[in-house]
Structure 1
Amino acid sequence: MKKIRVGLIGYGAVNQNLLRILQDKQERLLAEYELQLQIVLVADSRGFAIDAQGFEPAALLRHKAAGGCTADLGARWSHRAPERLAEHCDLIFEASPVNLKTGEPGLSLVRAALADGVSVVLANKGPLVLAFHELHELAAASGAGLRYSATVCGGLPVLNIARRDMVLGRITRVRGVFNSTTNFILESMRDGKSFAAALDEAQRRGIAEADPSLDIGGWDTANKLLIILNSVTGERLQLKDIQVSGIADMTIQRVQAEQAAGRVIRLVAEASEGRYTVAPVALEATDFLAQCNGWEMALEYHSDIYGISYHKLWEREPAPTAASMLRDAVHILSGESLSHRSHTGWVGKRRPW
């Protein structure tokens, strides 16, 4: 049995769902993988609580449900992260709020953890968007594990499929619909609501954030496309390499005209022949991505020897994202490799496009 000291960075919905999964699956985790995850550190916006004896998942969930924070967990507590995370943790689950301007506070914590040899599982896209290659280099230098399948399409293992399973394959095209907020808005406009009314309804239901600019501007989708491309192609791409258009200028007239012609508008991410785009596209109703509705996200991989593979997920709650984090942790701790294709490039250094 491996007893693993775990830190939770972020005490929000994703890590709370992770706690529920750990509570429900701990016996199977031990029986099938010989792993016992002991939560010894919890961090939120107030600070860091540490207990070497470990926090029980059920107790942490009750504490959070009662409005608690790390400062009143009854453990060693500090405003700042420990200077050496490796003295306390073997692995951290990083699910702090996404910050795509500075990456903080997640980026500094991830850097410190990897440099100290602590493995990291990310649900937070920010550090990868801003410092993808730096973080992989830190992990390689220290021997720490770094996984982040939860950052793209939640519970759908799109990164694992390309990096592990498409052995010797050459991906020639990637297409996807990665943002359910835009699905909701476009479908509401199809039914006669104005863009403003559809956005207001999405915010009222909690589908869209108070600041929806990342979603409607196409940047959430672009961030996910960037992570996919840097992960599976060996390229060293940045957001500036992706041409991004959102849906803010979309009108009822255009949406309904396309519907009358048998087409569906979706915010589509695409990479093909060295061209990387995010834009609203009118798709034939029979197109796989046109059938990505509501809370669904979808992706296509086009490959030379594996044909075209289609992948879709319905995800309304963060449980599948949390499950992906646990999956990544098990792979790290079990020593499972992503085999033939790593962040350093494809076999033979061949450009995939």
Structure 2
Amino acid sequence: MNSAETQCDMRSLTVLGIETSCDETAAAVVRGPASPEILSNVIRSQIDEHTEFGGVVPEIAARAHIEVLDRIVAEALAEANCSFDEIDAVAATAGPGLIGGVIVGLMTAKAIAMAAGKPLIAVNHLEGHALTARLTDDLDFPFLLLLVSGGHSQFLMVRGIGDYERLGTTIDDAIGEAFDKTAKLLGLPYPGGPAVEQMARKGDPNRFRLPRPLLDRPGLDMSFAGLKTALRTQAQKLEPVDDQTVADLCAAFQKAVAGVLSARTRTALELFRERYPDIQPAIVVAGGVAANQEIRSALTEAAEQAGARFVAPPMRLCTDNAAMIAWAGIERLRLGPVDDMGLSPRPRWPLDQISGSVLGSGKKGAKV
């Protein structure tokens, strides 16, 4: 790399990020790559709008994004003490996600970029999660990523910007989805993940023995639908269930999930050492489920036992946010080229473009 390229790569860049892939409307301003700094990170949750339905309703989510996004962007710029003239680019989630919400965010970003004469960067939502550890912990490539969210549960080898290899994935429910379905089954409120974790603190994780699917098979694939079914069967045997039984079931479910992730993490770290024997392995956990304390504790222990570095972003950067989108925009902007205004939003967009989908595909792309 010549000196001119070095200056281009490391000069200070300020990027406005927009995130609307699900039920958080978010905007942020981030500066980097040298001495990265989150200048603002504004998030407006839609929990109240969706609570009565027990889950996210795509049409309601899209309308809510339309109603507040302009104000959220204005708040992010004001908090960062920054104008459109002072940003270098606009980055927005272009997928995967609920297509109505993705359209709102991407179209808004296109309008801002065109009006302000700034480059547009289309960001894969999953890449935002994948690169957050480089924003918060200055992590070098390569590293392992465990992406655990409402829609995705995957182990990935992260070798560089845009260079990802899927090592294993769920063959059915994502972990966040399994948490939400478990909560609904047990009559707990939305959002399900935090509700299950809260009840589990009061429960006995050893009262019920739930299965750890696929752990008797090699590889890194996972399954959580059977675990959810086993919990339902157990609950039906004991109907009507009291609060303590609900707590015990939540604790057993959470322990089983943590056990699966811990075992698969140890296998992933062994694979990393085989491929990169001269590099200390690092495992990054990202996505909304990464906020679960028992899961974090189990993964931390697995990493320590393997002599690996464990990295988890701060809680506020685990769930969907725009700071991670702005940072991914910075990472891509310094590599170039930027995206054109004709790009389309994508409801499906796997990080790994090589591995086939375990769930099939359709007109919208691979179901992974």
TM range (shorter): 0.3 to 0.5
TM-score, normalised to structure 2's length?
0.35
Q: Would you tell me which structure has more strand in proportion to its own residues?
A: 1
The structure that is helix-richer by fraction is 2
